[in-house]
Amino acid sequence: MNIGEVFNQNGRLTGSIATRTIDLPRIGLRKVESENPKAPRFEILALNVARRWVQIGALWEAASKATGELFLAGNIDDPSLPEPLPIALFPADHGGYMVAWRRDTMRSDFGGGLAGGDMGASRNYDQRDQRDQQGGFGESTAGAEGELTTAGGFDGDDPF
């Protein structure tokens, strides 16, 4: 699903991203200068409420397994968001990029781990259930009525 567009205007990559709950009317891509092959290709910047540019993500170069087509992939993240927004940028005819939201999927080349989506959430619940069955974090310090107890070695003194 396309959620934005980035244009090459006078050598600067600027554009916007909008979803039902996120509105970034002005974003920019800043090229990362690095010798490290694992470094991102671009930083994603946005104007904050004080009209200053702040980094909200990064993009790495990736290639389609099916076609070999190169594109950019990364996340937008900010403390105001409930979770990172995974995005992919595909080259557009106008010299910029089309921004698409992407759902992380099972990656067989990394052991089949799930990332995001409902299945990822249910897997997290399974892991939590296993942890709880194996003793978890120890006994609760709350009694049946919610009162503080001394279970787990807490002696009533303020631990902070």
Cα(41)–Cα(60) distance, integer angstroms: 5
Q: What is the pLDDT of residues 128-156, one digit of tens each?
A: 444 444 455 556 566 676 666 655 444 55
Place of tokens 């993240």: 77
pTM for the full model? 0.64
Question: Please, which pLDDT band fits residue 119 given cuts at 50, 70 and 90?
Answer: very low
Maximal CA-CA distance, the chain: 68
Over the stretch 61-111, which tens digit does the pLDDT of each residue have?
Answer: 999 999 999 999 999 999 988 889 999 999 999 999 999 997 766 554 544
Q: Give buried/exposed letters for 53-86 (b at 16+ CB in 10 A, else e).
A: eeebbbbeeeeeeeeeeebbbbbbbeeeeeeebb
